Structure 1
Amino acid sequence: MWVARISSSQGAAAVTTSDLVGLRIKTVRRQRGLSQAQLAHPELSDSYVSLIESGKRTPTPAVLELLANKLDCSLSYLINGVTAEQMEDIELALGYARLALENGEVAEARTRFAELLGNSNLAGLTSLRQEAEFGLALATEAAGDLTQAISILLKLREEELSPERAIEVAVALCRAYRESEQLSEAVEVGEQFLGGNARQPWNDLLVELAATLLMAYSERGDMLRARQFAAELLNAADALGTPRSIVAANWNASIIARVTGHTDEAVTFIERALAVQMEHGKPRNTARMRLQATRTRLRTGAQDPVSARETLRAAITEFEQTSTSTIDEATLYLELACAEYMSHDLDSAAEHASTSRSMLPAFGHVAGAEANLLLARIYGAVGRVEEGREYAAAVESWLSPLPDARRSASHWYATAETMEQLGDTDGAVGAYQRALACAGL
């Protein structure tokens, strides 16, 4: 089992390797035409400078600053091999990449982070390089390329990371595994951090990791564990009292309450999360939470379909202006299509269900199955039964690559019902059998 390698001190990164620092001091000293004695005196001994240059002594930050002044070079060059001007350029480029991601310009963000990582000057700047790699992973995930995002995150987590960065990587990896339907891997990532006696005290990031793990439990069909863990998470968030923890815990507890039939709780939790998010949160998560709140109200009967439809249509612009992922956008269009179907706006429902399906990875994703099922019902409702049957039959291509689990069972059952309504008796029997197999019956 993997255990995160976490650095005990970010300050320790100030002097990377003694060999490289010593080599840079020696190189600049020779360029300046100085002997070791001339560089050392009067503050240091020439033997001490010799030991530093050979990598046998690690200079303190104060000594490094002294040597940088005497050599007339930047401290950043001695530490990292990068001049102050180069460092400024790197930090500026990193800032632009972050801004692009936050503004939802996913393709641009991905390009900027990739270009940064191609800069050889970044190689010795461990913290900044790790930030660029993490940013690239998030941009790649937002673009819908979950396989590549997972690959980047797996490589990054093998490095020595700060405690905060290690948790951030775990959150993103757990989420990417979950979104790609690799639920066992998602659970393993979360439990490795949150299980055992060595776990850190609760903080915002750990609550967000726990919330991500909670949804993996739910999608894996472990509802008893999910219900228990949701209560634990709510208690932890209430004890912390921070906006981030309250939002994460209530948002995800709402989903668990809804799927387990506790509809009043579901609405209460999501309303609390949305209220706190709107006051304190970032635009990306605010957009996602509006979607979840509308979805919860619609599914529990707390909001009528026509009103939900208008709310979801307005959300499209909000999603386009933030760094919501392709999966998030596909979910929005699918939920909008459902509201349109329920309000008998069938042409718009068909259009948006098709849009949702086109944004998803090719097969192996439950949202694609849901979009196909909705299209089957829409075409059946307007009398185009044969086309409806084709969409229902195509659900198999989306579900078959997925592992047998409770979530797949419910979708196979819905497929069977839809096929039966469309008169495809043989197809319905096969889908019912798959539903039973996924349920372990």
Structure 2
Amino acid sequence: MTTSDLVGLRIKTVRRQRGLSQAQLAHPELSDSYVSLIESGKRTPTPAVLELLAQKLDCSLSYLVNGVTAEQMEDIELALGYARLAMENGEISEARTRFAELLANNNLTGLQSLRQDTELGLALASEACGDHVEAIAILNQLRQEDITSERRIEIAIALCRAYRDSERLTEAVQVGEEILGSAARPAWSDLLVELGATLLSAYLERGDLLRARQFAAELLNAADTLGTPRSTVAANWNAAYVASAAGHGDEALTFAERAMAVQAETGQPRNTARMRVALAQLHLRNRPGEAHIAREALRKAVAETSQTSVSTVDRARTMVELARAEIITGDIAEAAEHAADARALLPDSALALGAAANLLLGLAYTATGRLTEARHHVESVRDWLSPMPDTSRSASNWYATAQTMEQLGDEDRAVEAYQRALACAGL
């Protein structure tokens, strides 16, 4: 039914409940034929006529327009606000529960915009919890609806990211290119640059470095033209990863530090903490000889994440990277402690991080001669990695696992892990 049909049906239902004829409702301001057309959905009443009819029917205008009373609308908006607040505070499981409970509210059915807000919130909360299957299903359903152009881009960003993180890279690229590659692409905006940045990361994951470098330059030009903090951070940050993948370490850190400076000045503390962790990762990758600098940045990030509303997965990621830096700098006991803390925080769905945390524990225990414990953690890495699809990311994880197993003298399992690494690399 159309919106006009629903409004007409409500007017008709309340009129009958009040025991009024169409003529009685219409008199003296309106004609009974006009009321009949409204009730049949053949005419859309103006806001002034709707307000008049609400007064005559002694019901709320909100009910005629939306099918809910003003009190019910207030309850829905309050519940949505609480769900969003939980999400912003990093309480992702609670946020997911609140969004799901709100969607079960029958009063939300006729409120298209609020329902779409709630469904998008549930998709983002599910994604944050590691449930990419549910997030993708919800986002694809939303794409089929009548939505604004801005909402379409928001959904595309989340869907491209969810496909990318699920290693469904062809689909991730298709989602981004559907908007950015169309002849009717809108003018560059902050949202569109963010979509471009997400698409750029999918190109990188897919190994399409040439396309990534070309597109990174396009995004940087767009961000320079816009001159906004949001676009500057998104374009420079992803250009850093492209430069790093191309072997240009100094250029990568220049881009990343530029993004970090803008983020620290204008962004939310939670996102600043996340970016500090990622910057330290880049530092470790491109300047391993300066691991102590990355370690100090990560220690600062640990303090920041404890004071801001990041999720437990983000806190665990910080601990994993700090453990990695501690191993490189020789602080083995500290590395083991941080890796154990990370492992305790992680849900079962965080496969790559769970594998990394256990591998770092294996390395730390090997270095301190605790070989039995080391074997236990390294063997458990296989359980985390096995459900993951065969990708270049999985290949590097399997290769690191194989090397550690070889150090532990477990040659049979090392060979198996090397074979899995080769299979993931397509060899």
> Which of the numbers 42, 50, 58 marks the counterpart of 2:44?
58
Does the C-alpha gap of structure 1 residues 283 and 132 become closer, same or farther in structure 2, counting only changes over 3 Å?
Answer: farther
Does the C-alpha gap of structure 1 residues 364 and 119 become closer, same or farther in structure 2, counting only changes over 3 Å?
Answer: closer
Tell me the equivalent position of 1:24.
10
- Larger deviation: 394-403 or 302-311? 302-311
> Which of the numbers 287, 290, 306 marks the counterpart of 2:276?
290
Aligned equivalents of 1:323 and 1:222: distance in 2? 35
> Which of the numbers 146, 154, 157 marks the counterpart of 1:171?
157
Q: How many angstroms does 1:199 deviate by? A: 2.4
Does the C-alpha gap of structure 1 residues 115 and 364 become closer, same or farther in structure 2, counting only changes over 3 Å?
Answer: closer
Corresponding letter in the other structure for 2:270: R
In the alignment, is the contact (CA less than 8 A) between 2:23 and 2:31 conserved in 1? yes
> Which of the numbers 346, 362, 385 marks the counterpart of 1:399?
385
Post-superposition CA distance 1:345-383 (Å, at most 9, x none): 212212322333454454783333333332232222112
Tell me the equivalent position of 1:410.
396
Aligned equivalents of 2:290 and 2:41: distance in 1? 71
Does the C-alpha gap of structure 1 residues 275 and 16 become closer, same or farther in structure 2, counting only changes over 3 Å?
Answer: farther
Aligned equivalents of 1:186 and 1:361: distance in 2? 24
- Larger deviation: 25-34 or 87-96? 25-34
Aligned equivalents of 2:153 and 2:132: distance in 1? 19
- Larger deviation: 402-411 or 270-279? 402-411
Corresponding letter in the other structure for 2:75: D
> Which of the numbers 93, 109, 123 marks the counterpart of 1:123?
109
Which residues of structure 1 form unaligned runs of 5+?
1-14
Check if 1:203 corresponds to 2:189: yes
Aligned equivalents of 2:384 and 2:213: distance in 1? 28
Q: How many angstroms does 1:216 deviate by? A: 2.1
Does the C-alpha gap of structure 1 residues 374 and 214 become closer, same or farther in structure 2, counting only changes over 3 Å?
Answer: same
Tell me the equivalent position of 1:112.
98
Question: How does 1:35-434 map onto structure 2 within 5 Å?
Answer: 35-301=21-287, 304-360=290-346, 362=348, 365-434=351-420
Paired residues in the alignment total 427
Does the C-alpha gap of structure 1 residues 75 and 322 become closer, same or farther in structure 2, counting only changes over 3 Å?
Answer: farther
In the alignment, is the contact (CA less than 8 A) between 2:224 and 2:232 conserved in 1? yes
Aligned equivalents of 1:412 and 1:118: distance in 2? 42
Corresponding letter in the other structure for 1:77: Y
- Larger deviation: 140-149 or 353-362? 353-362
In the alignment, is the contact (CA less than 8 A) between 1:181 and 1:365 conserved in 2? no
Aligned-pair Cα RMSD in Å: 2.7
Secondary structure at the aligned position of 1:202 is classed as coil
Aligned equivalents of 2:343 and 2:137: distance in 1? 25
In the alignment, is the contact (CA less than 8 A) between 2:167 and 2:391 conserved in 1? no
Post-superposition CA distance 1:231-256 (Å, at most 9, x none): 22212222222211111111122122
Secondary structure at the aligned position of 1:403 is classed as coil
Q: How many angstroms does 1:131 deviate by? A: 0.7
Q: How many angstroms does 1:80 deviate by? A: 0.8
- Larger deviation: 409-418 or 163-172? 409-418
Q: Using CA pairs under 8 Å that are at least 6 residues apart, name the structure with larger relative contact order, 1 or 2.
A: 1
Q: How high is the sequence identity, in percent, across the aligned residues?
A: 70
In the alignment, is the contact (CA less than 8 A) between 1:106 and 1:139 conserved in 2? yes
